[in-house]
Structure 1
Amino acid sequence: MKIACVGGGPASLYFSILMKRMSPSEDITVYERDPVGSTYGWGVTYSDRLLGNLYSADQESACAIAESSASWNRWDHHREDVAMTTRPGHAGYGISRRRLLSILAQRARVLGVRIQYEREITDEGELAEADLIVAGDGVNSALRNRHADHFGTQVTAGRNVYLWLGTTRVFEFFTFAFKETVHGWIWCYGYPYDPRHSTCVVECSPETWKGLGFDRGTEADTLARLEKIFAGMLDGHPLMGRGDGEGGAHWLNFRMVDNRTWYRDNVVLIGDAAHTTHYSIGAGTGLALGDAATLVNALLEDPRLPSALAAYEKEAKAALRTARLAGRRSARWYENIRRYTGLPPEQMFKLHRARYSLLLPYVPPRLYYWAGRVNEKSLARATGWVSGKVARARETFTPQ
């Protein structure tokens, strides 16, 4: 087949790698609108489960990813002068998004995939010769938006605002910090992604955001305020934004993308073009790579394109279900954080760990906490089962 992948993100690039590796005769081109090396964001996360699957799918790229990643094996929670450490039972990893894309692009080229940068595709008519068009062009997918009625696209904005930043503070572990201000609570989590940098994601309610003056002023003003709020966490290190400091900071509302169907004729959605999950569960990269593997398997198992795309949609949606549910529950916990801030810090931290729970939103927080204390083994088993299922669903795929 002649295959065109629109968008040069992890989903499209990894699809091109696996497809070319499993079927070298395929003619594959990746089209990316931005220049080479240009990307947003800092570091992305993944788990040891995903890393094991990457080794099974393509050892060469997996080795390069592992070598370029930072890792941690515990979570640290901080509020006021109280800290608590937990060990989730599995390792976590962070890697620079730019480095990840560079690794995948280099591996794709070695296998014979063509990559065209600074080539924006907004209409499938521009790719009339392609037998298959893989739309991996992100949350704002132009190919999807052209036929939003067919795909049944729904985009829902979250209530809270968040800001994705970098810092030269290299965290040893995955670190959470919750801070109370005169305008409400604001929180940050950070994780390392290379030997010199970490990612920091800051979140708060729109009322706190406005009260702290983040709705006005430059990016430099915003970073200075945040450095003061999270001084203990940053230990004197600066925060880094996306701009030059003169324009406004890039505050966002999370957008939940849903599609009723993921394909139309020879166009198929993949990654964030097909779905999103709340950033607080760190599932985006794993799900994108899982989509890529699932699509490759479907195409190799069935030479008839319509039925192959239908099989891909069915399997990928099933793999997504638990992670999407966990993402919604996690987002709800943060959007209702005042429900938990009246608890002592240690109790709040434990309920933060339990935020995927089906029952937690409907049970008074103190009752939930003390019920867990009375029957801690049962609660630990339940929480561990849910957390394990979330991790497997968001980062497990089986390349063939």
Structure 2
Amino acid sequence: MDLTLLSIILVITLFGFLLMGLWVGFALLAVGLVAMELASPAPAGTVLATRMWGSLNVWDLTALPMFIWMGEILFRSRLSSDMFTGLAPFTRRLPGGLLHVNIMGCALFAAVSGSSAATTATVGKMSLPELRARGYDPRIAIGTLAGAGTFGFLIPPSIILIVYGAAADQSIARLFLAGILPGLMLAALFAGYVMIWSLINRDAMPPPPEKPSLRERMRALALLMPTVLLIVAVIGSIYAGLASPTEAAVVGVVGALLISGLSGGLDRASFVASLRGSAITACMIAFILAGASFLTVAMGFTGIPRLLAAWIGEQGYSQFALLSALLVFFIVLGFFLDGISIVVLTTSVILPMVLAAGIDPIWFGIFLVLVVEMSQITPPVGFNLFVLQSITGRGIFEIARYALPFFLILVLATAILALFPEIALWLPGTMLSR
């Protein structure tokens, strides 16, 4: 069969299944089966069984449910509220005031959670009522939370970086390192925008509070200390060479259980709920990964990825032209698919093009995560928008309008990363080349 016609059939099949509401994992499996039946004499059933088992029988993937469980434990404990209370005294005198707690709180929680939705929900439940009571404009309060909630995808340990590493066969430790500086850059861009907005819209800001006393600052530091120690234990154990990402995930779970138990924030019911929530999320991601892995093999049998990679090479596109096209492509996909689905659905097809263009796969993973972060705040399928809709009761398109400036900042961050790739590659090259 002509590969162009086959490609059209497979795209129509995929989106047809998705529009019918079929689970993403089933849709990927179905498209793979169609591709195998139309373009390969190999037994589809045998390939399906062996590939699904092989894709999930990977040691690095065991980090996934552990990091998810760690986030679920923290989501249900007092650690998150202590973190918010501890950050507040250090942001009161900045232009934008407590709005920076949304940004800093999401950055800190992302460093011990790895989930964008969990980060948004946890920080939002604490900060939005407080900001509302203090008279902050809901537009900027909700917008900062929608944007900063995406940090859960970029700042390690990131669930989606683990998924990309497994799908692209890249080092998860290198990906974690590569996400640190871009994550800090993004937080700085968000904070800068909040400062500029607050200086321009002084009438929408409450009067600045009194300067916190030394005693308040010391108490705040004490409340922040458990979060900082957990971050150091998880991330530090990886880069000190004491633990693999999987072992570090276990360290994180044990640390979260100890902190939650000592603070009295975790009872039997919340412990069981954290187990259930992590099991559901981990199984969903694993099923999507299995479907995507089979689709990757099926696409290899069809020859479509090789054809696309060769076509890209023949066109002579520059790296910037290719990345610009991919940026638009991923933004469009983000209107309809969640972030993890985008990664596992496109990696097998896009990565050969990227490698043919001479783009570093570690750098591309960070680029892809930044673009996927945009999908979290674009309607109609923006998970952060759904979370904020449940918290605030506002319409999803109204929340998307509040989040628009932060979407544009994400586009700016992607452009900066493309112009200065060392932002992502310097730390992995420095720390893991020793």
Q: Which has the higher helix share?
A: 2
TM-score normalised by L of structure 2: 0.23
TM-score normalised by L of structure 1: 0.25
Indicate the structure whose relative CO is greater, using CA pairs within 8 Å and at least 6 residues apart: 2
